[in-house]
Amino acid sequence: QVQLVESGGGLVQAGGSLRLSCAASARTVSTYAMGWFRQAPGKEREFVSAINWSGTMYADSVKGRFTISRDYVKNTVYLQMNSLKPEDTAVYYCSMGAVGGNLAGRYAYWGQGTQVTVSS
């Protein structure tokens, strides 16, 4: 059973930056697709970014501000978030799946989430 553990969330002012990390319990980061999703209070979970063997993809709302990357040695995926806005406030979830993409149903494993709060 793969376990995903997110870290790096916190409180930041608008315009600031945070880097989220997602550590996988098995050596799967290099062979599986990894995704980041977020869920704000009262809203459905939404796609943020993903990375697989063919490249990266981003939601339009974060394109140009967020960058996804992975470290094969550390078996960790990162989400660098710059120019943060109050509307980025949400719980951010790391996920892992065989195919990936922007649909949550394509990911079989999920982390527990990390809170990101952006103040105005």
pLDDT at 1 over 90: no
Torsion sign, CA atoms 98, 109, 52, 100:
positive
63-78 pLDDT, tens digit per residue, is 999 999 999 889 999 9
What confidence category does residue 25 fall into, taking pLDDT thresholds of 50, 70 and 90? confident
pLDDT exceeds 80 at position 62: yes
The predicted model gives 12-28 an average pLDDT of 92
Q: Identify the bridge partners of residue 96 per DSSP, sorted by sequence position.
A: 34, 109
In what order do the strands lie in the sheet containing 66-71? 4-7, 18-24, 76-81, 66-71
Angstrom distance (rounded) from CA 85 to CA 106 = 28
**Cβ atoms of residues 39 and 30 within 8 Å:** no
Give the number of other Cβ atoms within 10 Å of residue 105's Cβ. 7
Tens-place pLDDT, residues 49-60: 999 988 999 999
Block residue for tokens 């709060």: 117
Q: Which residues pair with 91 in a beta bridge?
A: 39, 115
